[in-house]
């Protein structure tokens, strides 16, 4: 069903835009956490389903969570 985790992309937080509201950490704590600077970071890109990551993206008030290609 919603288990649509795709391993070819991972999420990241644009910390220049992050306001530190913690909404993504509350929504998807297995992927996002707060740093000592009071900003969010992705600490475990594969920590939850793609749907849960999308949920975090959608709850971000400044839309600063993005996908990047895992292959550099
Ligand atoms: S929801 Fe967006 S603005 Fe809020 S802490 Fe997470 S990344 Fe930062």
| Domain topology for 9-69 | Alpha-Beta Plaits (3.30.70)
First CA to last CA across the chain, in angstroms?
30
Query: Residue 63, exposed/middle/buried by CB under 10 A (0-12, 13-18, 19+)?
Result: exposed
Q: Are 20 and 39 in contact (CB under 8 A)?
A: yes
pTM: 0.87
Q: How far is the CA of 12 from the centre of ligand 1 (A)?
A: 11
Any ligand 1 atom below 6 A from CB of 42: no
Closest CA to 49 of 7, 1, 5: 5
Any ligand 1 atom below 6 A from CB of 22: yes
pLDDT given for residue 50 in this prediction: 94
pLDDT given for residue 1 in this prediction: 40
Any ligand 1 atom below 6 A from CB of 53: no
pLDDT given for residue 6 in this prediction: 53
Residue having the nearest C-alpha atom to atom 8 of ligand 1 = 18
pLDDT given for residue 71 in this prediction: 59
Per-residue pLDDT 10s for the chain (72 aa) are 444 445 568 999 999 999 999 999 999 999 999 999 999 999 999 999 999 999 999 999 999 999 997 655
Q: Are 53 and 11 in contact (CB under 8 A)?
A: yes
């Amino acid at each position: 069903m919603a288990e649509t985790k795709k391993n070819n992309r991972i999420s990241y937080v644009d910390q220049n835009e992050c306001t530190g509201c913690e909404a993504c950490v509350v929504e998807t704590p297995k992927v996002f956490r707060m740093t000592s600077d009071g900003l969010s970071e992705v600490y475990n890109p594969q920590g939850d389903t793609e749907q849960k990551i999308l949920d975090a993206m959608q709850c971000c008030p400044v839309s600063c969570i993005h996908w990047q290609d895992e292959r550099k």
